[in-house]
Structure 1
Amino acid sequence: MNPTIKDVAKLANTSKSTVSRYLNGQPVKKETEEALKKAIEELNYHRNENARRLVVSKTQTIGIVVDSITNLFYPTIFRGIEEIAKEKGFNCVFYSMTSSKYTESYFQNLYYEGHVDGIIMISFRKRNHKDLLEIAEAGFPVVVFGDSANVEDIVSVDVDNYLGISELVRYLSRIGHKKIAYISGPDHAAATESRLAGYLETMEQLGQAVNPNWIVPTDWSNESGYKAMNHLLSVGDFTAVVASNDETAIGALRAVQEQGYHVPTDLSITGFDDITLSSWVYPSLTTVKQPFMEMGIMAATELFKRMEKGDDYPSERHLLKPKLIIRDSCRKISE
């Protein structure tokens, strides 16, 4: 027969209630903890999760809904979420909207049907205000990762996109650049608007003029960055380019080199995200690093607070700061 809590308690010379507290993540004396660990290992004890769920009316599971399973940033976010979930004794179940006809609000059914105890919704796309408002008003434990669609009564986590671009523009200004072009992102991305605002407003604050022809939209691919840079080179009269993600920056770097120019001797280029390839291209790319692991930890931490405190826990938008990574794609120029 499978060992029981009673067997663990007997071998560890403690009570069943103490074993239960320990298994539920509550503190016990250090010597008791050591004895319990030894007893559980010796007996090869595994608790009956189904029975436990019937008693506590909890699934011990959180749902993670993503807009696409192919996004290269998501695995790092998942690790952050799972780190906190594991500490709390919870499992994570992932749901993808890639091939689904449903909106995010549909997935609140996961909670109401008893599949999960809380939900984290991850998307870097612009969200529909009405859809997100429905989720906020439903009142179940949820954290949205990315765009909050200006819905105030919901907990959300994102990177400070405005600050990241502003930091890049200010860095280029400090090393002498006054004429700075900008490679923007796609309309469907939530970060595009705030990153563009970071560029425009920071240039204005620094007293630096912006030529409208210096701003080129892309779909954030290498190819679109390559095309955008070729267009910018036909316009000319700038010394640096801020690309709003690393992939377009890498495409821009290739376009510059193919036309016989050198980075950073002739032109400085920066990116945004700090993907792995940004440190391997030549020259290595100056960029800003998104703290995806920390963002995942923050999202999970906030979800568990909401699960524990319910509606008494205040809704808040948490913007984590990106980190400026200075490499070799920019150079100081004289006045």
Structure 2
Amino acid sequence: MNPTIIDVAKLANTSKSTVSRYLNGLPIKKETEEALKKAIKELNYHRNENARRLVVNKTQTIGIVVDSIANMFYSSIFKGIEEVAKENGFNCVFYSMTSNKYTESYFQNLVFEGHVDGIILISFMKRDVKDLLEIANAGIPVVVFGDTAGVKDLVSVDVDNYYGISELVRYLHRIGHQKIAYISGPKDAAATECRLAGYLETMEHLGLTVNPNWVVPTDWSNEDGYNAMNHLLTIGDFTAVLASNDETAIGALRAVQERGYNVPADLSITGFDDITLASWTYPPLTTVKQPFLEMGKKAASELFKRMGNSEEYISERHLLKPELIIRDSCRKISNPVMR
């Protein structure tokens, strides 16, 4: 028969309750902890998780649901979530929506069926209002990462996209730029509207004119950034280009350099995100850094608050500020414009 905690307690010369405390991550005496580790190893003991769940009515597991597991930004978010989960004695289970046909509201069944104690829904795409309303009304421990589609009865975490773009516009303005073009993002991305509003409203607030032809939509890929920049170069009359993500900024940088222009001597370019490659371009890219690790930690912390006191927990949207990263792709100017 498989060894039990009674066997472990007997071999370690301690009580069953002490073994239980140790297995559940509660503090015990150092010498007792060492004795238990030795006994568990000697007996090859593995606790019965199903039995434990029946006793405590908890899985000690949180579910993380993502729209696509391949998104390059998710690794830092996952790390932040896992750090907080580990501190609370919880495990993480990951679910990718690309491997099934279900909407996000389907995954609330993970809580109802006892597979996890709470869930974090992660997506950078626009969400369906009806789907989120169903989640909000279910009363389960859940944190939404990204867009909330205007649904207020949810705990959510996101980056302050408006602030990030506004900081870039203000930085360009401080170093003398008044004519700033903008490479926008795809319609189905939740951040696109916020970032575009940050550009348009900050330009207006600073008294800067926006030429509608200077705003070009993309799918946020290197190739689309390259094409957008080639299009903008046929229009001209600007000194800087603010790309709404780093990938389009890198594509734009290549287009400019292929045409024989120098960055930043002839044209300044900025991005958004601070992906790893942003510091390896030539010149290194000025951008804003999304605090993905901190966002992951915040999402997990809010989820544990929700799981601990769901009746009194207040729904709130937490927007974390991105950080301006100044590198070498922008220069201070007096009045020249690119034509």
Same fold (TM over 0.5): yes
Question: Which residue identity is paired with 1:309?
Answer: N
Where 1:302 maps in the other structure, the secondary structure is helix
Contact 1:183 1:218 in 2 (8 A): yes
Which 5+ residue runs of structure 2 have no aligned equivalent?
none
In 2, the alpha carbon distance for the partners of 1:239 and 1:289 equals 23
In 2, the alpha carbon distance for the partners of 1:328 and 1:41 equals 56
In 1, the alpha carbon distance for the partners of 2:28 and 2:218 equals 56
Q: After TM superposition, list the pairs within 5 Å mapping 1:289-328 onto structure 2.
A: 289-328=289-328
Deviation, structure 1 residue 273: 0.7
Question: Which residue identity is paired with 2:24?
Answer: N
In 2, the alpha carbon distance for the partners of 1:289 and 1:81 equals 19
Q: After TM superposition, list the pairs within 5 Å mapping 1:39-188 onto structure 2.
A: 39-41=39-41, 43-188=43-188
Deviation, structure 1 residue 213: 1.1
In 1, the alpha carbon distance for the partners of 2:35 and 2:199 equals 59
Where 2:250 maps in the other structure, the secondary structure is helix
In 2, the alpha carbon distance for the partners of 1:245 and 1:105 equals 29
Which 5+ residue runs of structure 1 have no aligned equivalent?
none
Contact 1:243 1:269 in 2 (8 A): yes
Deviation, structure 1 residue 27: 3.3
In 2, the alpha carbon distance for the partners of 1:277 and 1:217 equals 22
Which of 59-68 and 29-38 deviates more?
Answer: 29-38
Aligned residue for 1:26? 26
C-alpha deviations, 1:261-294, integer Å up to 9, x for none?
0100000000011111111111111111111111
Deviation, structure 1 residue 36: 4.2
TM-score (norm 2): 0.93
Whether 1:238 and 2:238 are equivalent positions in the alignment is yes
> Identity percentage over the alignment?
83
In 2, the alpha carbon distance for the partners of 1:203 and 1:32 equals 65
C-alpha deviations, 1:61-94, integer Å up to 9, x for none?
2111111122111122112112222222222222
Aligned residue for 1:280? 280
Question: Which residue identity is paired with 2:246?
Answer: D
Which of 153-162 and 310-319 deviates more?
Answer: 310-319
Aligned residue for 2:247? 247
In 2, the alpha carbon distance for the partners of 1:29 and 1:207 equals 66
Contact 1:139 1:311 in 2 (8 A): no
Whether 1:271 and 2:271 are equivalent positions in the alignment is yes
RMSD between aligned residues: 1.8
Where 1:27 maps in the other structure, the secondary structure is coil
C-alpha deviations, 1:128-185, integer Å up to 9, x for none?
1111011001001111110011111111111111111111111111111111111000
Which of 234-243 and 5-14 deviates more?
Answer: 5-14
Which of 27-36 and 116-125 deviates more?
Answer: 27-36
Question: Which residue identity is paired with 2:243?
Answer: A
Where 2:181 maps in the other structure, the secondary structure is strand
Where 2:135 maps in the other structure, the secondary structure is helix
Aligned residue for 1:200? 200
Aligned residue for 1:256? 256
In 1, the alpha carbon distance for the partners of 2:175 and 2:34 equals 57
C-alpha deviations, 1:225-268, integer Å up to 9, x for none?
11111111111111111100000000000110111101000000
How many residue pairs were aligned? 335
TM-score (norm 1): 0.94
In 2, the alpha carbon distance for the partners of 1:207 and 1:40 equals 70
In 2, the alpha carbon distance for the partners of 1:311 and 1:244 equals 39
In 2, the alpha carbon distance for the partners of 1:26 and 1:141 equals 24
In 1, the alpha carbon distance for the partners of 2:191 and 2:44 equals 49
In 1, the alpha carbon distance for the partners of 2:125 and 2:256 equals 30
Which of 13-22 and 240-249 deviates more?
Answer: 13-22
Which of 219-228 and 17-26 deviates more?
Answer: 17-26
Question: Which residue identity is paired with 1:72?
Answer: M
C-alpha deviations, 1:199-222, integer Å up to 9, x for none?
111112212111111111111011
